[in-house]
Structure 1
Amino acid sequence: MKKLWLTVFLSGTVAALAAGGVLHLAGLPGWGDAVWAAATAAAVLPALWWVISALRARRLGVDAIAVLALVGTLVVQEYLAGALIAVMLSTGRVLEEYALARAGRDLTALYERAPRWAHRYEDGVPKRVDVAAVRRGDLLAVPAGEMVPVDGVVAGHTAVLDESALTGESMPVEYPEGESVRSGVVNAGSAFDLRATGTAEESTYAGVVRLARETEAGSAPVVRLADRFAAWFLPATLVIAGLAWALSGDLVRAVAVLVVATPCPLLLAAPAAIASGLSRTARHGVVVKGGGALESLGRARTLVLDKTGTLTEGRPQVLDVVPAPGYAADEVLSLAAAVDRVSSHVLATAIVHAAEARGLDGVTAAGVRERPGSGTEGTVGGRLVRVGKLPASAVPADTDATGDPAATGIADPAATGTADPAATDAPRTDAPRTDSGWVAAQRARAALDSAITVWITVDGVVAGVVLLRDAVRADASRTLRRLRTAGIDRVVMLTGDRAEVAQGVAAVLGVDDVLAERSPAGKVEGVREEAERAPTVMVGDGVNDAPALAAAQVGVAMGARGSAASTQAADVVLTTDRLDRLADAMDVARRARRIAVESAGVGIGLSLLAMAFAAFGFLPPAAGALLQEAIDVAVILNALRALAPGRGTRLRVDRPTGELLQRFDQEHATLRPALELLREAADALDGPPRTALTLLRRVHDALDTEIMPHEQEEEQRLYPALTRLLGDPEATVTMSRAHAEIGRLADRLARHLELAGEDGPRPEQRDDLRACLYGLHAVLTLHFAQEEEAYFSLAGHAD
């Protein structure tokens, strides 16, 4: 209705202006002036209503100047100026409505495209039902090109999904069977089945819709700043107009001053710019709850981040599998996975995923039982396998039997599963009972690596240990660098974790301060202390982060996997599990705020300059009206620049390069087992020569058929693309140097194998072989980490 009324208002004023002009040209100036005067008088009513509405909202709007100008033109008989002001009023309001509607289009699209239908299997046939009828456990079909209606788990073959509506990610993402997917994403591949894990109301997209409805541009401080401008601009206009009249005795000059100050929709540019910013952040998969939050985000100087789930993945990953003497790493891992196969425990899931990545899936464990506080046990091939804390009975008498200090907090990574067929033999007799020195060495390494230990015993004999660690997000370092470039002066890590673990993560990321071992109340206190020093943003994802999020000027929740409590307490919600979206949102916030202030300031400055010309008689009312119309239109259009992508701190990646980055990043994951094989081969050099030779040959094969081809193709295809993207021929030089060192060490290993013969490496070769293997492991580990941080984290920036 409002849009229709404004359209009629604009059409009427324009028609009246044109009709009056035609009458003047036809030699009927009296009739022409009458039409213009009627249009002017008609425009007084809506202008007066806008003044009253502003006063009811306890705002002093500059529309009062419009009323005075319209009345003034009638008094001094400047009817053309009055008609122009009427057109200016209607044009300004229509432009404002368009600007806010255009700026809010992306937010509105979020809830307008909410899924309404689902295809639920009934008697083996998918039938269309209302999405509200879907219940947990229902099996749904998701046809090609349709939206995933509810959260669920892929039940058929691999799903290829377009997540751009939620995350801003332009490239399709593959989800294998068993992986969880969120509602609101679109099936970009062939049809697949989905097992619902929640109702439509409980699903991710419903939450995003609720958040989108909460956004409002009018509450931004910068918009209130526009109201404060109006508070002094109105009296200043009246003073200038009064002085012009008093000093010249010409009322027309006073009216001209009022005309060029009318109706000042330039102050509407502030909400238009902020609304544009809200729309832009939505495209990046970030929902900002109101213009006030966006404007505060743009002023932030301190960033406080929770560690687990924010700076780290929030999911422990297998760091290494260390077999006891007499066992192999793959055998140990397969035994652990056999017991943990169907467990939902986070540590068990990590172990099973690591085993699957190595292709270790064999027979199913039997008689699996949970032992709360210690772990799980089951029978594999007639042997009793225990996974969890180190049993006291398996530890020599001179070793502390109270349990593994590094394993504190490890409870019941349990359930049934499968193991390596090689593990189905009779109980081993060649596996020596692990001595306290070996156990102590693994505990020491776990402490140094800030790792969690999960011990595996077979018939009471320690078979090995799995080390797990919550990895730092690949995009964390790049995101922090971008945020510092955007204006963040101080970065603080806030966590309830142990100080030594937190310090290890902080050292990698280069944060300014660490607040460790903090309770929820301690987190709130820490955030408040930072907020007293400077505008502060707090980022978290857990239930215990909710109070701290509320204590900051801007709370940011990792909404993709975060708790409902943190999402509700936050001012900004990242709908995707990617920290770099925060940097995107801050880029948008700073740009939107800058454009809003710039638009209001420049508009007022130009109006004041025009008022000065009008006061001295250089700008008659009609010309002043045309000039003010041009100023208002220009300023509002300038505000809409906030809709366009700014340069910001994000490096934009073309699609072909993005696809290359994704491909090589995925290859890194498949090459991880080969890195672990390097350490295993180095450790085996102290054992039987033939066993060492077997492992060395496996290492050589992995280098020759997997690692080196990968590195060579990076050199030939990826690095030239990155050189073009980064615009710097030196950008990949250090990485190329690493490739050369990897090649040199691989050649050295090959020569050692030639010298070893069929009996295995000779004693004089062992020291250099060990140095070669450990060197390869160190260089490759560092090289992979550097590529993943510096290059592969750019994969999500592809346009």
Structure 2
Amino acid sequence: MPVNEPLLRKILLAIAVLGLAAGFATHFQLGMENLADSIWAFASAPVIAALALSIVRDLWAGRFGVDAIALVSMSAALWLGEDLAAIVVAIMYMGGNVLEDYARGRAQSDLKALTDRSPRIAHRRRGEILESISIESVSVGDDLMVRAGEVLPVDGVLLDDDTRIDESAITGEPFLKACKQGDAVRSGTVNAGEMFHMRATAVAAESTYAGIVRMVEAAQTAKAPFIRMADRFALVLLPLTLIVAAAAWHVSGDPVRALAVLVVATPCPLILAAPIAFIAGVSRAARQGVLMKGSTALEALAKVRTAIFDKTGTLTHGGAQLIEMQIAPGRDEDELLSLLGSLEQASHHVLASAIVALAGNRGLTLTRPDSVCEHRGSGLIGTISGIRVSAGSRSLILAASAPPAWAERVVSRYQGHPVLVVYMAVEGRLAAVLVLGDGLRADAVSAVTRLRNAGVRRSIMLTGDDADAANRIAATLPLDLVVADASPADKVAVVSAESSKAATMMVGDGINDAPALAMATVGVAMGARGATASSEAADVVVLTDSLGAVATAVEIASRTTMIARQSIVAGIGLSALAMIAAAFGFLSPVSGALLQEAIDVAVILNALRALGDHGKRKMGYQ
């Protein structure tokens, strides 16, 4: 049966604290000094024994740390008859470990919440039979029922007319998402409406939430190069401490001074600060809907100086978006959009879906269209509440007639651009012209600007689209370079070249851009639309449909690394000063232990600042 180490540390701390209290009572109330010393020594023994076993276990596994200083200092205190110093060091050492357990638990709480809520059961319908099965038994194509309040077990598509989904646990988005029949739904989200049916499109292991859990596990176990460097540097501290202690003993002739030096070096803030700060940073990013593959990805993100963006689905929405709507004089835009959205409900064209969604997002009422005639590739003609409405190409709506001046101006403005123009007529008269295209994300400009403020010196668009489409989008962005007409091989070459000059971040959809994501120093996948979360190519996955989350991730990474460095430099510096003071006799072993514990507490509390929102306004967190 595995040992519950956090519980064991709490028990050992309790024994040491009770031993200290019992010893003081025996010493001051009963006047039995020898018995008090024996109680302190006896209460210190379990801590010393547990620490010795831990060190042996670590050595057997090929690890070595500065916990050995604590063992040496407590053993030396008992050997020199400084039993009070031994029990104080035992309390301070175990207290530091318990505090570290608490801090680590707080830092990991958001990550643990993700894994704890993993779906385990699915309700599968076969004919008239409804059976509850493990999610591992779900196959693609299964008809699943999801009850109100349940976590969706796998990725799928909605079979019922509509529902509302709570995606806050994986995206950080607090608002419910309205879904309609045919929409994709993701595992790990919650049914916030009534019971509905869905069809599985992926097995459990390949669904969104399984990918999230894998990344969370990686985040909790992987060590950043920064932390590994800290571990190696910590190895220098033990021999250095022994040298300083021996020198203090040799010069003063007092072995208690050597003991005081050992005590103030126990334990090392270097070991405590870095892991807690990085786990806190990864946890903070998870709350913002950004998953990182451990501390390594976070540290690398903090070093990024070049950002490369795919265009479609990254800088843009990746679908048909309304760029501009020009209406005839005297017409009402919402009224026209309501009529157009009502008509387009009868079509399965991708533009129709975009127009219907636009009308729905504005809260407009849509009416069932009548007598609809669809001209394939040209448009629709139908009746909405007795009003004849037509929408489509110029030839369908205007035939050979020239458009009026107000319409000609908007059409001319987009001449040569990769956009689609939809003409709309009401009762045979041109009423509106809509320009649709792959629109720029609303937060794209601010995201690129925030990245520059966070230290990213160079921003590049890298796309397989033609130059005209790329330049139209790039014209409004603060970019340093646009590379268009790029094949997957070209993308890899560009990313490789940029990575050789500086730490580079590639932001893409995680599917078509997988080779480029893998080549970059840090690959960031925009995974809000599904399976990207399970992409092995990405180091970071953005679960919310926002480019601003990429900037937030870089800001969090930079702040976390800064806090880790602050903690380490301050902790080591203060410990070094304390060692010098102890060597010169200004600190006793007991006061040194108390001082070192204060240093450790300060270091841990500072590292936990990576969890918080300090500087939110300045850094632009959403």
Tell me which residue corresponds to 1:77: 81
8 Å Cα contact 2:208/2:530 also seen in 1: no
Report which stretch shifted further, 354-363 or 206-215. 354-363
SS in 1 for 2:388: helix
8 Å Cα contact 1:311/1:472 also seen in 2: yes
Distance of aligned partners of 1:432 and 1:544 in 2 relative to their CA distance in 1, 3 Å threshold:
closer
8 Å Cα contact 2:524/2:542 also seen in 1: yes
TM-superposed CA distance for 1:322, in Å, is: 9.9
Tell me which residue corresponds to 1:506: 474
8 Å Cα contact 1:37/1:79 also seen in 2: yes
Tell me which residue corresponds to 1:581: 549
What is the distance in 1 between the residues matched to 2:607 and 2:618? 22
Tell me which residue corresponds to 2:291: 287
What is the distance in 1 between the residues matched to 2:162 and 2:397? 44
SS in 1 for 2:597: helix
Deviation string for 1:740-773 (max 9, x for gaps)? xxxxxxxxxxxxxxxxxxxxxxxxxxxxxxxxxx
Distance of aligned partners of 1:206 and 1:346 in 2 relative to their CA distance in 1, 3 Å threshold:
farther
Of residues 183, 188, 193, the one that matches 1:184 is 188
Of residues 306, 310, 313, the one that matches 1:306 is 310
8 Å Cα contact 1:222/1:295 also seen in 2: yes
Distance of aligned partners of 1:450 and 1:624 in 2 relative to their CA distance in 1, 3 Å threshold:
same
What is the distance in 2 between the residues matched to 1:524 and 1:148? 36
- Output aligned runs, 1:218-233, within 5 Å: 218-233=222-237
Do residues 142 (structure 1) and 110 (structure 2) align?
A: no
Deviation string for 1:671-726 (max 9, x for gaps)? xxxxxxxxxxxxxxxxxxxxxxxxxxxxxxxxxxxxxxxxxxxxxxxxxxxxxxxx
TM-superposed CA distance for 1:192, in Å, is: 4.6
8 Å Cα contact 1:244/1:615 also seen in 2: yes
8 Å Cα contact 1:335/1:419 also seen in 2: no
Larger RCO (CA under 8 A, 6+ residues apart)? 2
Tell me which residue corresponds to 1:205: 209
Of residues 492, 495, 516, the one that matches 2:460 is 492
Matched to 2:518, the amino acid is: A
8 Å Cα contact 1:472/1:505 also seen in 2: yes
- Output aligned runs, 1:222-371, within 5 Å: 222-319=226-323, 341=346, 343=348, 346-347=350-351, 349-350=353-354, 359=366, 362-363=369-370
Distance of aligned partners of 1:640 and 1:57 in 2 relative to their CA distance in 1, 3 Å threshold:
farther
What is the distance in 2 between the residues matched to 1:273 and 1:38? 36
8 Å Cα contact 1:266/1:636 also seen in 2: no
Distance of aligned partners of 1:65 and 1:501 in 2 relative to their CA distance in 1, 3 Å threshold:
same
8 Å Cα contact 1:152/1:198 also seen in 2: yes
SS in 2 for 1:279: helix
TM-superposed CA distance for 1:233, in Å, is: 2.2
Structure 2 portions without partners, runs of 5+:
328-332, 425-431
What is the distance in 2 between the residues matched to 1:49 and 1:118? 45
Please, what TM-score do these two structures have when normalized by structure 2?
A: 0.84
Do residues 530 (structure 1) and 498 (structure 2) align?
A: yes
Tell me which residue corresponds to 1:165: 169
Do residues 422 (structure 1) and 388 (structure 2) align?
A: yes
TM-superposed CA distance for 1:133, in Å, is: 5.5
Structure 1 portions without partners, runs of 5+:
324-328, 366-379, 389-413, 457-463, 653-793
8 Å Cα contact 1:301/1:534 also seen in 2: yes
Tell me which residue corresponds to 1:790: none
SS in 2 for 1:496: coil
Tell me which residue corresponds to 1:693: none
8 Å Cα contact 1:41/1:70 also seen in 2: no
Of residues 4, 7, 10, the one that matches 2:10 is 7
Distance of aligned partners of 1:333 and 1:341 in 2 relative to their CA distance in 1, 3 Å threshold:
same
Tell me which residue corresponds to 1:746: none
8 Å Cα contact 2:443/2:548 also seen in 1: yes
Distance of aligned partners of 1:364 and 1:240 in 2 relative to their CA distance in 1, 3 Å threshold:
farther
Do residues 540 (structure 1) and 540 (structure 2) align?
A: no
What is the distance in 1 between the residues matched to 2:402 and 2:338? 20
Tell me which residue corresponds to 1:677: none
SS in 2 for 1:304: strand
TM-superposed CA distance for 1:173, in Å, is: 3.5
What is the distance in 2 between the residues matched to 1:274 and 1:583? 18
Distance of aligned partners of 1:87 and 1:479 in 2 relative to their CA distance in 1, 3 Å threshold:
same
8 Å Cα contact 2:316/2:440 also seen in 1: yes
What is the distance in 2 between the residues matched to 1:171 and 1:97? 34
Structure number with the higher helix fraction is: 1
Do residues 110 (structure 1) and 114 (structure 2) align?
A: yes
8 Å Cα contact 2:157/2:201 also seen in 1: no
Please, what TM-score do these two structures have when normalized by structure 1?
A: 0.66
What is the distance in 1 between the residues matched to 2:217 and 2:257? 47
- CA RMSD in angstroms comes to 4.1
Distance of aligned partners of 1:293 and 1:450 in 2 relative to their CA distance in 1, 3 Å threshold:
same
- Output aligned runs, 1:551-590, within 5 Å: 551-561=519-529, 564=532, 567-590=535-558
8 Å Cα contact 2:144/2:200 also seen in 1: no
TM-superposed CA distance for 1:467, in Å, is: 4.9
Distance of aligned partners of 1:441 and 1:60 in 2 relative to their CA distance in 1, 3 Å threshold:
same
8 Å Cα contact 2:159/2:199 also seen in 1: no
TM-superposed CA distance for 1:39, in Å, is: 3.5
8 Å Cα contact 1:100/1:272 also seen in 2: yes
Distance of aligned partners of 1:584 and 1:319 in 2 relative to their CA distance in 1, 3 Å threshold:
closer
Deviation string for 1:422-475 (max 9, x for gaps)? 379xxx999754799x9x99997554433246899xxxxxxx997531000111
Distance of aligned partners of 1:89 and 1:431 in 2 relative to their CA distance in 1, 3 Å threshold:
closer
Report which stretch shifted further, 32-41 or 525-534. 32-41
SS in 2 for 1:596: helix
8 Å Cα contact 1:543/1:564 also seen in 2: yes
Distance of aligned partners of 1:331 and 1:280 in 2 relative to their CA distance in 1, 3 Å threshold:
closer
8 Å Cα contact 1:587/1:649 also seen in 2: no
Matched to 2:11, the amino acid is: V
Of residues 10, 18, 22, the one that matches 2:21 is 18
